[in-house]
């Protein structure tokens, strides 16, 4: 009898694990969306690259930081730097991250003065310095100055909330695509959620 009970328990556990694996696979499966989600946001890579990744991200989101540190370098090396992929960065600052919106806005102000190259340099620096507890704004401003940004003009830009409509547009487009968490990506119409490993991006890009 004990053997039969053990068999029954093991079978139940096996069924549960299989169901969980199927549900996880379904959740990880890319969803399709129609339309152009690139807007006029900053682009990293060749403008004529055949594959476009649109990233919706929050500077203070730990999973966005994980993607930046662990997955983006491989995408950059294998696809962006080789002209196969361009990355469009769009802002989805979550309301419970106090520094996410100010940093998104500051990066837009840097781009306004110095273009996409400076934008991605400040983008990288923010991700390097930010944590759940916040960011040292003075360090970011000092770095912006190193990039040749006029700090008086930068202060005026941030204080006037010049790019609020731009960021609101990013949030609206994320909602239109059914995206409500970060990071999330649209790769030629396929929605990928979360800080997935490089292999997940590789399979979609290669396809």
Between strands 190-193 and 85-91, the pairing is unpaired
pLDDT at 65 over 60: yes
What is the distance between the alpha carbons of residues 28 and 184, in angstroms, rounded to a whole number?
12
- Name the one residue in this structure whose structure tokens are 């996880």: 24
Q: What pLDDT is attached to residue 162?
A: 97
Q: What pLDDT is attached to residue 134?
A: 86
Q: What pLDDT is attached to residue 201?
A: 96
Provide the 3-class DSSP secondary structure of residue 57. Answer: strand
Q: What pLDDT is attached to residue 23?
A: 47
Q: What is the dihedral of CA 43, 49, 53, 59, to 10 degrees?
A: -30
Q: What's this model's pTM, rounded to 2 decimal places?
A: 0.84
Q: What pLDDT is attached to residue 19?
A: 55
What is the distance between the alpha carbons of residues 119 and 125, in angstroms, rounded to a whole number?
10
Q: What pLDDT is attached to residue 131?
A: 84
pLDDT tens, position by position, 4-51: 676 766 666 666 666 554 544 555 555 888 888 988 999 999 999 999
Tokens for 27, please give them: 């959740």
pLDDT at 97 over 80: yes
Provide the 3-class DSSP secondary structure of residue 81. Answer: coil
């Amino acid at each position: 009898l004990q053997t039969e009970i053990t068999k029954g328990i093991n079978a139940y556990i096996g069924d549960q694990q299989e169901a969980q694996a199927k549900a996880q696979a379904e959740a990880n499966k890319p969803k399709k969306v129609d339309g152009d989600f690139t807007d006029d946001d900053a682009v990293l890579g060749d403008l004529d690259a055949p594959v476009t990744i649109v990233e919706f991200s929050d500077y203070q989101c730990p999973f966005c930081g994980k993607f930046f540190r662990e997955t983006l370098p491989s995408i950059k090396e294998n696809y962006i730097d080789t002209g196969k992929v361009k990355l469009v960065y769009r802002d989805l600052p979550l309301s419970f991250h106090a520094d996410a919106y100010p940093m998104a806005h500051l990066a837009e102000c840097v781009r306004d003065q110095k273009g996409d190259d400076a934008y991605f340099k400040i983008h990288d620096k923010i991700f390097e310095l930010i944590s759940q507890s916040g960011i040292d704004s003075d360090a970011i401003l000092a770095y912006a100055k190193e990039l040749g940004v006029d700090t008086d003009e930068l202060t005026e830009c941030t204080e006037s909330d010049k790019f609020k409509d731009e960021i609101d547009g990013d949030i609206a487009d994320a909602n239109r695509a059914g995206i409500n968490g970060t990071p999330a990506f649209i790769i030629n119409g396929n929605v990928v959620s979360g800080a997935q490993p490089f292999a997940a991006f590789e399979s979609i890009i290669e396809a």
